[in-house]
Amino acid sequence: MEAGLFTANNLWMMVCTALVFFMHLGFSFLEIGLTRQKNTVNILFKNVFIITVGLLIYYIGGFNLMYPGDFNGYVGFGGFGLPAPVTPEGALDLTYNEGYTYWTDFLFQGMFAATAATIVSGAVAERIKLGSFMIFTVLYVGLVYPIVGSWQWGGGFLSSLAYGEAEGFYDFAGSTLVHSVGGWGALIAIYLLGARIGKFGEDGKPKAIPGHNLPLTAAGVLILWLGWFGFNGGSVLSADPALTSLVLVTTSLAAAAGGVSAFLMSAALYKNYDLTMFLNGILGGLVGITAGADLMSPNEAVMIGLLAGIIIVLGVALIDKLKLDDPVGAVAVHLICGIWGTLAVGLFGDKAGLDQFLVQLAGVGAAAVFCSVFGFLILFVLKKTIGLRVSEQEELQGLDIHEHGMDAYADFRMNQH
């Protein structure tokens, strides 16, 4: 292989790694913007914890749990740490992969890993105990995410789940393996946690608890869109010009279409121009295209995005109806649109067909069962031991003062909610 091509491939993967890392700022901004100022330090702390501890855990064991080499297809482990493949001379073996080095592989995948817990972080905001969340993060990033990932990207049973014309489950960049995995954790967690005080009135009707910093929310979504250039673009696993550029086009068109249809749908239903719905529609489009970003034509990407935007508006209403409290809309965005995107591979694009659709459904189901069961077990044990939820007083006064002894905006007077 010519040196320039390998260098360019690896370079692209490093750029994408940087972009996926940057998504953690996007998630942080999104989450703090949509919640109240009194819990801002707590949310930032959780997000910083996730990216640092998540990366270390993935380094210690997660990477080799997700890519165990030859294994039974369900769970395997390649050993602790990063035993780099080396040439007889002791240098890094550059024939490890056509698209990137071993180090790049680890870091790109490591940036993905922390995302699963970040998705949960937003949903449980403003009421979860920090200690419980930290334990949950360690277990979810360290075990649940890599095991599910190994089923497909590690060469496990989902990747070879043939049925009729379908040659295996397909999830290009993780509508299921990343977003739904995080989404199931979020759903279980908000079910076990219960709603924030004041979210549902005495009549049981949901009450909006407005976010305290919408500029940061909007910035978060634009940063996430930017980061998705790396999330999806890097999932090509090389800088292949035709494929990477197609992926950026389908990703961006789906994002745009998702935003526009969510905006129009919410304007039609609720008669106002809702910025947060517009923004969540963009995220829904992004999650929706993720499973098949490399398989779709631009027209199909727009269709997937338009439907994702509608799903978002209905999904957010559904969560409310179920008396669940998801401050940032994480379940609608990551779980519901993650499922939508995974199934869309069977409906649109190069692999569309009933057999593929059924295989996609099977993959969705496998992730659902595993993540729900393990997520429930972890969170249920935490609830029965150290407890999941802060005290009523702490929730009312804010987690920032109680858990961190500091105020996110020390110089400004706040309204008390």
Amino acid 272 reads N
Q: What angle do CA 213, 118, 135 make, to 5 degrees?
A: 120
211 — alpha (psi -120 to 50), left (phi > 0) or beta? Answer: beta
Nearest distance from residue 407's CB to a second copy, in Å? 7
Contact 313, 324 (CB under 8 A): no
Nearest distance from residue 301's CB to a second copy, in Å? 10
Q: Which is nearer to a second copy, 52 or 391 (CB)?
A: 52
Nearest distance from residue 57's CB to a second copy, in Å? 10
Q: Which two tokens stand for residue 181?
A: 């995995």
Contact 355, 168 (CB under 8 A): no
Q: Which is nearer to a second copy, 274 or 326 (CB)?
A: 274
**DSSP letter string, 278-333:** HHHHHHHHHHHHHTTTTT--HHHHHHHHHHHHHHHHHHHHHHHHTT---TT-HIII
Q: Which is nearer to a second copy, 7 or 385 (CB)?
A: 7
Nearest distance from residue 250's CB to a second copy, in Å? 9
Nearest distance from residue 194's CB to a second copy, in Å? 23
Q: Is the dihedral of CA 222, 223, 229, 231 positive or negative?
A: negative
What is the phi/psi pair of residue 92, to 5°? Answer: -60, 130
Residue bearing tokens 């095991």:
147
How far is the C-alpha of 309 from the C-alpha of 265, rounded, in Å? 8
Nearest distance from residue 7's CB to a second copy, in Å? 4
Q: Which is nearer to a second copy, 82 or 381 (CB)?
A: 82
How far is the C-alpha of 400 from the C-alpha of 254, rounded, in Å? 37
Q: Which is nearer to a second copy, 222 or 362 (CB)?
A: 222
How far is the C-alpha of 123 from the C-alpha of 134, rounded, in Å? 15
Nearest distance from residue 356's CB to a second copy, in Å? 20
Q: Which is nearer to a second copy, 377 or 414 (CB)?
A: 414
Q: Which is nearer to a second copy, 75 or 248 (CB)?
A: 248
